[in-house]
Amino acid sequence: MTNLRDYQRAAIDSIHQWFGNYDGNPLIVVPTGGGKSVICAEFIREVLALWPGERILVVTHVKELIEQNHKTLLRSWPAAPVGIYSAGLKRRDNEAQVLFAGIQSIYKRPQEIGHCDLILVDEAHLIPANGFGMYRTLLSGLQGINPQLRMIGLTATPFRTDTGRLDSGEDRMFGGVAYDCSVRQLIDDGWLSTITNRGVLAAIDTRGVHSRGGDFIEAELQAAATKGDLVQRSVKELVVRAKDRKHWLVFCCGVNHANEVAAELRSHGVDADTVFGETPSEQRDDVINRFRAKTLKCIVNVGVLTTGFDAPHVDLIALLRPTQSAGLYVQMVGRGMRKADGKDDCLILDFGGNVQRHGPIDAVQVREPGKGGTQEAPVRQCPECQTIIAIGFVICPSCGFEFPRMGPDHDERPDSSKPILTAASQFQRWSVHKMVCGLWANKDQSKPPTMRVYYACGYAEKISEWVCFDHPEGSFPRRKAEKWWKEHGGHEPYPETVDLALCRWECGEIKTPETLVVYTGGEFGEIKGKVFGAKPAREPGDEPKTELPPPPSNRVEVDYNDLPF
């Protein structure tokens, strides 16, 4: 049995809970580097322990992921009844009870694969929005054999690489997100590497570049990226800014662009090699193996190392590839988020203005079909240290530079042509002077009520969150509520209902946080962390009740706008 991290255990539990309570297929969202292969392996082991006759198919799109998932299961369960079906790996173990397969190899062969009870799709964001892609063709064929077939999607990005969420739209294949673990949570808990950033000058200008299929047209984008001396200037800047970095990963717009970038890097003395989709398998393996062995400093690639590439020592990522795909943006940056010995952080240089399209990596703004492009993210660049920060900061948190105050006739939104670099730091600390808990009754009577918790912070700021005690035992919302209760100093047994939770709050059982860590980059503030001290839940002078009062007979909804602060 594998020693699971807390969030990995919660992800597996959420799958069991989903199938016990909901129709449709669930999504498990865990950031790159969070161990989706471990979650997949332990879930398979538990399923076969409970139901030994089940047959499970694990599907993905690159042979490296097939091998990785296969090896992870065997490490935790050496006697697992597993096999591989992949042309690239030259194996066709189609009768294995647990089959790890490449989608390209099996999507036309459902009859050869035969009866399956569960399909786990790794990198589920690659399932197309519409049409009969490979995943849909396979699923349709296997459902013809077993109409009760269920599917689970695992991904770091719950939205497609072209456009839209995986669980929205008439043609969606997933019913919702069963579990979602944030990048910020795993960074703060020490499971992922932090990300640092500096702005760039030699940015790629995408004005005039048209779009098709949810992203820039490659030929036009490549022309923009190689215009004039832009390659020379961007590489020169990359070499200067990355001089203290040891292991570089560069994303480019096309083969010609990548070849020019690699040649220019070598002219500066950087040991660089290239990997493309057309690169022969043996040559690609050689380049990747040299990089993993740390004998090659830099890989320049085009659309190959966005998923399935595991090199934790990467400490520099250069995005010389603008993209309109939020999913691709997240996947590229995610290559640098794994932790490694001797690695303090990963520097991401964004020459493509991607953060202005999609927002910070832990708060991505997703473009839905038919709604046009995302707005530029509300960020600006410090002129002293080039750190990218939220537009609301008056003083740069990195170097202390004080931005000049803007008058009412000035627009503080960043110029879309400015160089910009992704950042993981659009966070502010808000001091809490009061907390109020109230009932939030859903208008849909079929859904359980929730507890809404309001925090008064400073003169004008107030923010709230929802705590769901009335949801089923073991469900994701219920587990989050229990975590919230414990975090706020409440003791077990946990409240079974919102009414009981409110009663115990009235008794002074739970604490008010002294400080909230609030993400301010989106449309609304979002609580990302809390700092607790000795502050009580009630106002000074209030005496906590010695006996638990009975639950109120009439629920009263607390209006956010009617609070006394």
pLDDT tens figures, 320-370: 999 988 888 888 998 999 999 999 899 999 999 887 788 777 767 665 544
437 in the same domain as 482: yes
Instruction: Give me the phi and psi of 17, to 5 degrees please.
Output: -65, -40
Sheet holding 82-86, edge to edge: 91-92, 82-86, 98-102, 56-60, 118-122, 150-155, 26-29, 176-180
Q: Against a cut of 0.85, is the pTM above it?
A: no
Name the band, by pLDDT with cuts 50, 70 and 90, for residue 376: very low
**pLDDT per residue as tens digits for the range 537-552:** 444 444 434 344 444 4
DSSP 280: -
Q: How far apart are the first and last CA of the chain?
A: 51
Tell me what the mean pLDDT of segment 391-417 comes to: 43
The domain tally of the chain equals: 3
Mean of pLDDT values over 247-260: 96
Count other Cβ atoms within 10 Å, centred on residue 342: 7
- Which pLDDT band, with edges at 50, 70 and 90, does 293 fall under? very high
Please give the Cα distance from 448 to 439 (Å, whole number). Answer: 11
Q: Which domain holds residue 76?
A: 6-181
From the DSSP assignment, how many helices (H) and strands (E) are in the chain? Answer: 15, 23
- 117 and 28 share a domain? yes
Same domain, 212 and 286: yes
* Residue 142 and residue 163 in one domain: yes
Are both 374 and 472 inside the same structural domain? no
Between 79 and 362, name the one with better pLDDT: 79
**49 pLDDT higher than 80:** yes
Alpha-carbon gap, residue 451 to 501, rounded angstroms: 8
Can you give the pLDDT at residue 495?
92
Residue 382's pLDDT band, with cuts at 50, 70 and 90, is: low
Lowest mean pLDDT among 16-25, 107-116, 297-306: 16-25
Are 175 and 201 found together in one domain? no
- The mean pLDDT value of the chain amounts to 80
472 or 376, which is more confident: 472
Q: Are 458 and 467 in contact (CB under 8 A)?
A: no
Which of 71-75, 178-182, 228-232, 385-389 shows the lowest per-residue confidence on average (mean pLDDT)? 385-389
Between the CA of residue 25 and those of 21, 149, 306, 477, 560, what are the distances in Å? 12, 10, 25, 18, 35
Return the percentage of the chain with pLDDT > 90, whole number: 36
**Which is higher by pLDDT, 541 or 66?**
66
Structure confidence at residue 129 (pLDDT): 58
**Residue 533 vs residue 99, higher pLDDT:** 99
How, if at all, do strands 215-216 and 211-212 pair?
Answer: antiparallel
In the predicted structure, residue 560 carries a pLDDT above the cut 60? no
Please answer whether residues 27 and 158 qualify as being in contact, where contact means their C-beta atoms are separated by less than 8 angstroms.
Answer: yes
Q: Other C-beta atoms within 10 Å of 520: how many?
A: 19
User: Which residues, 6+ apart, have CB-to-CB distance to 524 below 8 Å?
Assistant: none
| In-domain check, residue 398 | no
CA 187 to CA 56: how far, in whole Å? 32
The pLDDT of residue 72 is 93
Question: Per the domain annotation, does 62 fall within a domain?
Answer: yes
Cis preceding-peptide flag for 322 (omega within 30 of 0): no
Torsions phi, psi of 355, nearest 5? Answer: -65, -30
Supply the angle between the helices 218-225 and 255-267 in degrees, to the nearest 10: 20
> Is residue 121 domain-resident?
yes
> What is the CB-side half-sphere exposure of residue 8 using CA atoms within 13 A?
16
Domain boundary among 362, 390, 418: 390
Domain check: are 217 and 346 in the same one? yes
Express each pLDDT in 412-465 by its tens digit.
Answer: 333 333 322 234 445 677 888 888 888 877 666 667 888 989 888 866 678 888
**pLDDT category, 565, cuts 50, 70, 90?**
very low
Are 166 and 237 within one domain?
no
> Is residue 208, in this structure, part of any structural domain at all?
yes
Residue 371 pLDDT: 43
Per-residue burial over 26-63, b = 16 or more CB atoms within 10 Å of its CB, e = otherwise = bbbbbbbbbbbbbbbbbbbbebbeeeeeebbbbbbbbb
pLDDT at 90 over 60: yes
Q: Is the pLDDT of residue 482 over 60?
A: yes
Instruction: Give yes or no: residues 199 and 175 share one domain.
Output: no
412 domain residue, yes or no: no
Is the residue at 419 inside a domain?
A: no
**Of 379 and 466, the one with more pLDDT:** 466
CATH code for the domain of 27? 3.40.50.300
Domain-ending residue, one of 181, 213, 237: 181
Q: Are 357 and 331 in contact (CB under 8 A)?
A: no
Query: Tell me, what's the pLDDT at 445?
Result: 67
242 with 126, same domain?
A: no
The winner for highest mean pLDDT among 142-151, 432-441, 503-512 is 142-151
Residue 237 lies in a domain: yes
The answer to whether residues 481 and 540 belong to one domain is yes
- In terms of domains, do 75 and 207 share one? no
Cα–Cα nearest to 333, from 352, 306, 310: 306
Q: What is the pLDDT of residue 162?
A: 57
- Residue 355 near residue 388, CB atoms below 8 Å: yes
Q: b/e map of 96-135 (b: 16 or more CB within 10 Å)?
A: bebbbbbbebbbeebeebeebbbbbbbbbbbbbbeeeebb
In which band, very low, low, confident or very high, does the pLDDT at 55 lie, cut at 50, 70 and 90? very high
Q: Is residue 416 part of a domain?
A: no
Asked which of 157, 181, 205 is the last residue of a domain, the reply is 181
Q: What is the dihedral of CA 549, 550, 551, 555, to 10 degrees?
A: -80
